[in-house]
């Protein structure tokens, strides 16, 4: 799988963070440009592409920039940014639905198709639409853990850092989400096959 965008830049974040904490507005802009696409992709993968997606990206960075003076660097900036992103996603999923998902073409353009195999199939337009329809019925914490691990390709340890939960808790959420997905996918042979291939891929 292609190396994630945030990972490519993590070694260069600290100087920008230092500048931003010292009041350099250009550094804030550079941090936004550097990470906005990764945040948007992550949000789209977890909550689907809604009409509020751009607003959520802005919400994440507003919160990050407000909290930046208290950021001590105990974790990588990208890890902290992803924690804020997942907090925003969780709050969004808990809200009453006010808008519908965007069209499948819009969703696929956000997530992208970058490789072959089950991950690419999950990013196909029609399969994404069907997967998100099922994911909407799963509780937010389980949904977030499953998407981060099984779809986005983060390790259980990385997911644990991003959602602020112990590793055993994350494993449990992923397991229960998979069980619910398998039950709900029984009436959808194509999606059921993709889920089976994805699980096999994760075990390799």
Q: What is the mean pLDDT of residues 38-43?
A: 90
Residue 163 φ/ψ, nearest 5 degrees: -100, -5
Q: Is the pTM of this model over 0.85?
A: no
What is the Cα Rg of the chain in Å?
17
Q: What is the DSSP letter of 101?
A: B
**Rounded distance, CA 4 to CA 14, Å?**
18
- Note whether 147 and 135 are within 8 A (CB): yes
Percent of the chain with pLDDT over 70: 71
Task: Tell me the C-alpha distance between 196 and 122, whole Å.
Answer: 12
Chain segment 42-76, per-residue pLDDT in tens = 898 888 767 788 899 999 999 999 999 988 887 88
**Residue-range domains of the chain with CATH:** 5-203 (1.10.1740.10)
Cα distances (Å, whole numbers) of residue 90 to 47, 56, 140, 161, 202: 9, 11, 6, 15, 24
The pLDDT assigned to 113 comes to 39
pLDDT digits (tens, 9 = 90+) for 141-160: 999 999 889 878 889 999 99
DSSP 89: H
> Residue 107 and residue 56: Cα distance in Å, rounded?
15
What tokens does 172 get? 């449990």
Tokens 């519908």, located at residue: 100
């Amino acid at each position: 799988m292609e190396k994630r965008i945030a990972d490519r830049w993590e070694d260069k974040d600290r100087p920008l963070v230092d500048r931003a904490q010292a009041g350099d507005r250009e550094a804030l802009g550079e941090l936004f440009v550097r990470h906005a696409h990764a945040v948007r992709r992550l949000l789209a993968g977890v909550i689907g592409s809604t009409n509020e997606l751009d607003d959520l990206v802005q919400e994440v960075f507003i919160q990050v920039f407000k909290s930046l003076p208290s950021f001590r660097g105990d974790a990588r900036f990208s890890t902290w940014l992803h924690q804020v992103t997942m907090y925003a996603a969780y709050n969004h999923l808990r809200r009453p639905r006010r808008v519908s998902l965007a069209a499948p073409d819009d969703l696929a353009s956000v997530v992208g198709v970058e490789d072959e195999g089950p991950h690419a199939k999950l990013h196909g337009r029609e399969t994404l639409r069907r997967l998100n329809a099922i994911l909407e019925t799963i509780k937010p914490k389980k949904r977030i853990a499953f998407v981060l691990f099984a779809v986005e390709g983060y390790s259980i340890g990385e997911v644990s850092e991003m959602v602020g939960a112990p590793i055993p808790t994350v494993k449990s959420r992923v397991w229960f989400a998979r069980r619910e997905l398998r039950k709900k996918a029984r009436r959808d042979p194509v999606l059921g096959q993709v889920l089976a291939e994805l699980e096999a891929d994760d075990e390799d």
